[in-house]
Amino acid sequence: MPLSKEVKKHTYADYLTYPADERWEIIDGIPHMQSAPTWQHQVVSVQLASQFNDYLKGKPCRVFTAPFDVCIPEYDESDEEISNIIAQPDIVMVCDESKLRKTGYFGVPSLIVEIASTSTARNDKLFKFNKYEKTGVKEYWIVEPDTKLVSVFILQNNNRYGRPEIFTETDNVKVSIFPDLVIELSTVFDFE
């Protein structure tokens, strides 16, 4: 019988020891290095974050952009022991400021936006999708600058994401957690 090799599960405490000039995420205890985003990615991020931020003025929620840590505990572990998911989503909306500490947010955000690239698409569409759904993120967007598409997943009563609503660069997106917030995608995808 072969000996099993135990793989070390990385935690938030380990994450804090990583080089400060590198971007890392930990999903299920496994570290993933992040590459620098494209300029198109940055245009999308700035435009989306601006629209969210303008709407949230005077409201009890805040929007943050990467690099900003989101640490989602799976059980009752301490901050330093979290290994479930330590991510740097491109855009995060949080409505419970009591969970803001250290390098980010320690809890389940209300809305997360991931801007997919060739190098991140698998994590965004599979691993992060499953983790965000399991932990109860109410609304999850996957934005694809290359095709100028946005997939919006809304957490249903059965605690699963329903079928995504898909939007193109000419559409407006009504944000489910704020029914009077409408995001104009024509400005988000204003690049060639």
DSSP state letters, 25-38:
EEETTEEEEEPPPP
User: d(Cα 115, Cα 93) in Å, to the nearest integer?
Assistant: 15
User: d(Cα 94, Cα 65) in Å, to the nearest integer?
Assistant: 11
The 10 Å Cβ neighbour count of residue 137 is 24
User: d(Cα 20, Cα 95) in Å, to the nearest integer?
Assistant: 28
pTM of the full predicted structure? 0.90
Chunked mean pLDDT (size 10), the chain, 192 residues: 64 88 85 86 97 96 94 85 85 96 94 92 90 95 97 97 97 95 97 85
User: d(Cα 80, Cα 156) in Å, to the nearest integer?
Assistant: 31
Domains and CATH numbers, the chain: 12-188 (3.90.1570.10)
Residue 123: what are its φ and ψ, rounded to 5°?
-65, -45
Q: Please report the pLDDT score of residue 1 as a whole number.
A: 45
Q: Please report the pLDDT score of residue 81 as a whole number.
A: 87
Q: Please report the pLDDT score of residue 96 as a whole number.
A: 95
